[in-house]
A and B are shown apart, each in its own frame.
Chain A
Amino acid sequence: MRRRLLESFGVVTVFVTITVTLHLTSESVGGQAPASTAWGHSNLEGIWLDVYATPFERAPEFGTRELATAEERSALDQVRMGDSGRDRRGPPGSSQDVSGAYNAVYTSVKPAGPRTSLVVDPPNGRIPALTPEAQQNNEVRRQWRIMLMRNTPTCEQGAPACEGGQFGPPSPRRFDVPSFYNTLRMNRHDGPEDQSSGDRCMLGATPDFNGFRRIVQGEDSIAIGYDTGQGQGFQRVVYLSGRHPASPIRLRHGDSRGHWEGDTLVIESTNFSPKFPYRGSGENRKLVERYTRVDENTLEYEVTIEDPTVWAAPWTVRQELKRQSDEENRIYYEPRCHEGNYGLPALLIGARVDEQEFEAGRGPDPFSMDTATCVNGLPE
């Protein structure tokens, strides 16, 4: 119990390391931003956000239709407001109740937007098929995670997090080193590398569609600071000159080189690190992003994502970003998750205490408990 509480405390701490009140505005925020900079580029400066929650991929019933009707948007909002998971509780006083105590305060959702999906190309709004190589990589990762949970109630009760897995004794492979670089939660806490990127305060990959971003626009470089939530975020510099560095240079958010095509900023990014994958795409990722200022408070953002080792074809996401108030969002650009990360050491300490208790015959086998899936592991 002591360990469970410690772990729960750890998870909660990660979530609340920094809570900033983010004020969403889709209306004009006062003060006119000039349409172009003194050096003649279209002026993209400001804090920008997609104020709508749009399904990433399009539901099949919409076919190739990009925009939803008012009725369809309203219906989607109704479904979300009625989502029982928004205030799901475990038995009062249980560790499940503590570790899963995320109600609507933590999981607030934005209203449905005009688009039926963020993906706009292919025309059906669906991400192209995964390559056999990517499918196999995903399967290896999934099997690894299930292997570590096979002795837990999650697998015993056939919860979604154990889908395709069998309940059984702890696996003889449970102390192995995984065959891939881990970035997600797993049911083992041998060291920092067993934790998710988020628990290690390294959340966020490029491209990012959910966070706030601040653009500060110089004549030959453009800085973009992202807030991806939970005190995490990252900085990118887009150079308007020069070339991508040599291939061995691998960067968390790639190397970004931009140029102007009329009033559109076009950014090409390569040299991504395998350690910060986006949807399974690591070092072979190539992005072409386009920023176009549509009006005073709207920025159109489009990104084409290409990785022939992961997807059968390139695909494109489009968003309309709305200008946010500078005055009301004046701290978010300081991501300081790592500085307050009591969650990671608490998770590790909890796991060590558990092992000691088990060895002394005072507690259950750590591998018989699910300390990985948090809310998702709970049976419906």
Chain B
Amino acid sequence: MMRNWFRGSTVIVALAAATVGAVVSVAVRNTAGQGQDQGQAPRPAQTPDGRPNFNGVWQVNNEAHWDLEAHEARPGMVMQEGVYPYEYARVPAAPVLALGAAAGVPGSLGVVGGDGRIPYTAEALRIKQENAENWIDRDPELKCYLPGIPRAMYMPYPFQISQGTDKIHMTFGFSNAARVIHLNDVTGPPDYTYMGHSVGRWEGDTLVVDVTYFNGKTWLDRAGNFHSEDLQLTERFSPMTPDAIWYEVTITDPETFTRPWTIAMPLYRRLEPSATVLDYPCIEFAEEFMYGNLRREPLVTRWEGETMIVEITRKIPPGDRLHEWYRR
């Protein structure tokens, strides 16, 4: 019986492998075909007015959105103490448990310059740690709030750069957010903002952008790193190749940090012929999260006051031979 099952599996795997091979070869041919009639328009390295050509769809390829600082891989976005009482033996906690290995956090060597640590004041460091412990309750990303700058630049969603005559517009997939970089002289807005007020200038081939007028309500990543409304940024966009930009930010906020500090990373051009920023319309995605407790008939199993109680279920899919054998 067992041998037959094994032999059957081998045949299925072989068939599957052959199918995947066929699909891949078709896909490659299609892509080549698309390149001719559906590709991105030819894009010279420079615009006609002699600037680096940043037009296009861009995205980072790193783990900065999890934590700007160096960190080891973690088993869950939210964790609890496991069987062993050590920090490194913590296990995923209920809110993400059902997601299994897809709920972990990949490790990173970090993007913070200097000694790699964010120079918090003692009080701000305490708040940062509280933020991390209360991530689900506090991170504005989970509510689909405007992500702010610099966070929008390294979220795991593509964004569009439209490089105009005296403005540069960035359109972000996440939350349909946007920023306008004024290359001409426009004074600041009459109110503090989530996305800041960006004024840019060219220093040779580097676009230098000063960003001010922040409201202090945005975060820097999912690890609880934050800032106050005293935040001021100086961003530098320098072409590395026609398809990569070295992005460096100096972060100043005397209310939160003991000195200015920097982050730096490449932004990569999305090279797919059909590269397009698709909207991530997350306001409605977050409604159950934000307002589910206010329904006439809540969808969530139960609420204890303002605490959502989620029962986690993971069903073994029917047809799992090992578990069917075990149940017998």
Chain A interface residues toward B at CB < 8 A = 20-21, 31, 33-34, 37-40, 43, 45, 189-192, 200-202, 214, 216-223, 225, 234-235, 237, 239-243, 245, 249, 251-253, 255, 275, 326-327, 330-331, 333-334, 336, 338-339, 344-345, 348-349, 351-352, 355
Q: Is the CB of A239 within 8 A of B276?
A: yes
Q: How far is the CB of B253 from chain A (nearest CB, A)?
A: 20
From the candidates A191, A220, A239, A331, name the one contacting B291 in the complex (CB within 8 A). Answer: A191
When chains A and B are docked, how far (Å) is the Cα of A40 from the Cα of B140?
Answer: 42
From the candidates B178, B186, B274, B276, name the one contacting A223 in the complex (CB within 8 A). Answer: B178
Q: B284 interface residue, CB < 8 Å from A?
A: yes
Q: Is the CB of A38 within 8 A of B48?
A: yes
Q: Is the CB of A218 within 8 A of B163?
A: yes
Given A190-B297, A251-B278, A355-B296: A334 in contact with B162 (beta carbons within 8 A): no
Q: Is the CB of B38 within 8 A of A243?
A: yes
Q: B279 interface residue, CB < 8 Å from A?
A: yes
Q: Is the CB of B279 within 8 A of A252?
A: yes
Point out the residues of chain B lying under 8 angstroms from A348, CB to CB. Answer: 291, 294-295
Point out the residues of chain A lying under 8 angstroms from B284, CB to CB. Answer: 192, 200, 202, 275
Q: Is the CB of B47 within 8 A of A38?
A: yes
Q: Is the CB of A237 within 8 A of B160?
A: yes
Point out the residues of chain B lying under 8 angstroms from A336, CB to CB. Answer: 146, 194
From the candidates B56, B164, B273, B296, name the one contacting A217 in the complex (CB within 8 A). Answer: B164
Count B interface residues, CB 8 Å.
61
When chains A and B are docked, how far (Å) is the Cα of A39 from the Cα of B161?
Answer: 16
Point out the residues of chain B lying under 8 angstroms from A331, CB to CB. Answer: 189-191, 193
16 cross-chain CB contacts under 8 A: A31-B184, A190-B297, A192-B291, A201-B283, A214-B169, A218-B169, A222-B162, A223-B178, A237-B276, A242-B276, A243-B274, A245-B278, A251-B278, A331-B193, A339-B217, A345-B291
Q: Is the CB of A237 within 8 A of B48?
A: no
Given A242-B38, A331-B189, A333-B180: A251 in contact with B279 (beta carbons within 8 A): yes
Q: How far is the CB of A227 from chain B (nearest CB, A)?
A: 11
Given A39-B47, A330-B188, A352-B294: A216 in contact with B167 (beta carbons within 8 A): yes
Q: B187 interface residue, CB < 8 Å from A?
A: yes
